[in-house]
Structure 1
Amino acid sequence: MALISTTPMLEKARADKHGIVAFNVHSFDSIFWVLEAASDLKSPVILQTTVGTVKSLGAKNIAEVAKTASDHYGIPTGLHLDHCTDFEVIKEAIRAGYTSVMIDASMHPFEENVSRTNEVIKLAKSLGVNVEAELGKVGGVEDDIVVSEEDAEKAIPLECKQFVEVTGVSTLAPAIGTAHGIYKGKPNIDFERISEIANLVNVPLVLHGGSAVPDEDVRRCVSLGMAKVNVSTELKNAYSIAIREHFEKNPESLDPRAYLQKAKDAAIEMAKSKIRMVGSENKVVPSFV
C-alpha cells in the first residue's frame, strides 16, 4: 500500500467525528511499532517526524521505511513533516515521498504567515500533498522551536476563517491552550474557542501538544472538529523508560533483541491507547485499501 495523502483521511475523520493520531517517530524501529499497533486495531494512522529527525535519519530513508512498513501491515498511512520553518527542508521531504508537510510560520505576523504558507501550497497541492499551517503560538518545545508560557497565544477565530480563505490550506492547527511536552498541571484547553473556529472553517483542525492531555479532554476536542491529534512525548518516553528499566534490572543484558523487545511492547501499548482514545479503531475502510 502506498503512503497516502492525509487530506482525505482527515476530512473523513472530521465528518465522522473521530480522530486520527499522528505519532512522532524518532527511529526506524518506532515506525514499525506504530504501524503494528494500528494494524492490530485496524486504524488509519499518520507517522510524523520533526526536522531534527529528518536531519538525523534522512527524509528519503524515512519515506522508504515508512512505505515498506505500510506495505507490510496494509494500513492507510500518511507521512507528515512536523513544525518546519525551512522551505528547503519541506521541498526535500516532498521529493522524498512525504504526503503531508507543516509550514510553521506562526511566529510571524499574519500577512507573512499567509505568504509563507501560500509558497508551500503552490509546491505541494499540485502533487496531492497535504499542507498544515498554524495560527497562534502553541507553547512548549518542539525541536529548536521554543515558545514560553508567556509568549504562547491562542488563535483568533475570525483570523482562522480569513487564513483558510486566502490560503486554501488543507489542515489548520490553531493554538487553543495545549503545549508541547508533558504538562506540569492540567492543560487549560479553550473548548469554546475550538467550537467557534470549527464553525467558521471547513477544514480538519489539528491538536498539537496531545501528550498527557486527559483522554476525556482529547475526545471532546475531537468531537468539536480536531481531526488530527499529535502525540510525541508520551510515545518516546514509553519506549525509552522501558529500555532504562531493562538496564536497571539487567545491567549485564546487552542483547539489543532483549531491550528493544521491551521498548516495542511499551510503544505498541501506548500507541494502541491513543488510537482507542480518538476513536479510530476499526476505521479502515475499503476505499483506503
Structure 2
Amino acid sequence: MGSGGVVKSSMEAMLESLMRREEKPRDVPPALPPRPPSRGRLPSGRKSLPPLRFGSSEENPVFDPPLVSEDDLHVHAHTVIEEEREKEELEVEETKVDVVVEKEKDEKEEIDSRTMKLEKELKEKEEEVSVLRQQISQFETRCSDYEAQLKWLQDQLSLQQQQQAARIQVRRKEGMNGTNHNDPVQGNKQRHHSSEDSKTNPVGQLMSEFENKKKSFEEDARALGQWKPGQGASSSNPVEDLLKLKFQFTAWKRDYKVRLHETKVKLERMVGRSRRNCWAGMKWIKQ
C-alpha cells in the first residue's frame, strides 16, 4: 500500500479475508478490483474509517469486531474445553453422589423392613412362650392335685394293710391260746394266712407302679417346664408333647383307679373271709 495506508500483518490479512469470504454470499459475483487513485489527487493522510454495516448511520455507526490473534483463539478454545470438562466432571460427581444416596436410602428401607419383621416374629414367639408357660403351670397344678389324690389312696391302702395285719396277728394269738398245731381249724387259718400274704403282692405292685409313674410324669413335666425356643429337635412341638403327656396321664389314672378299686374289693373279700373263718373256729371250739 502507499505511505498513507494502514499497514497490516499477514495473519490479520488472512483472518480478514477468511471472515469476508464467509460473510460474502456465494451467488454474488466477485468484487471488482479497486480503482487506482488519480494522479492529480494524493490520498489523504488520515486513517481510513472502518466500513459501516447495513442498518448503521453516521450517528449510530456499527463497526466490525476487532481482529483476534491466533494465540488468543487458542487460549479461548482451551478455556472453553476446560470449562466443558469441569462441567462434565461435576455432573459425573453429582450423579455418583445421587446414586450413593439412593443406594443408602434403599438399604435403610430394607433394614427397617427386616427389623420390623424380626420384631413382629419375636413378639409372636414371646406370646407363644407365655401361652406355653401358662399351660405348663396349669398342668403342674393338675399334677399336684392328682398326686395328692393318689397319696390319699396310698395312705388308705397302707391303713387297710395295717388293720389287716393287726387282725391277723390277733387271730394268730387267739389260735395259739385256744388250739394246738394239729387242730384242723388252725391249719385252715395258717393256709388262709399264707394265701392272704400271697394276696398282698398286687398291692405292692400297685405301689411300685405308682412310684415309677410318678417319677416318670415328674421328669416329663420338668422337661416341658424347662423348654426354651430353639432347643431340642426342629420337629418337636411342646404343645403336642404336653397334650400327649396329659392324655397318657389321664389314661393311666383311669386304669390305675380301676385296679385300685378291684384291689380294694379283693381286700374286703379277704377280710370278710377271715372274719367268717374266725367265727366258724370259735363256734367249733365252743361246741
Structure with higher Rg: it is 2
> Which structure has the highest helix share of the two?
2
Q: Same fold (TM over 0.5)?
A: no
TM-score by length of 1: 0.21
- Structure with the bigger RCO (C-alpha within 8 Å, sep 6+) is 1
TM-score by length of 2: 0.21
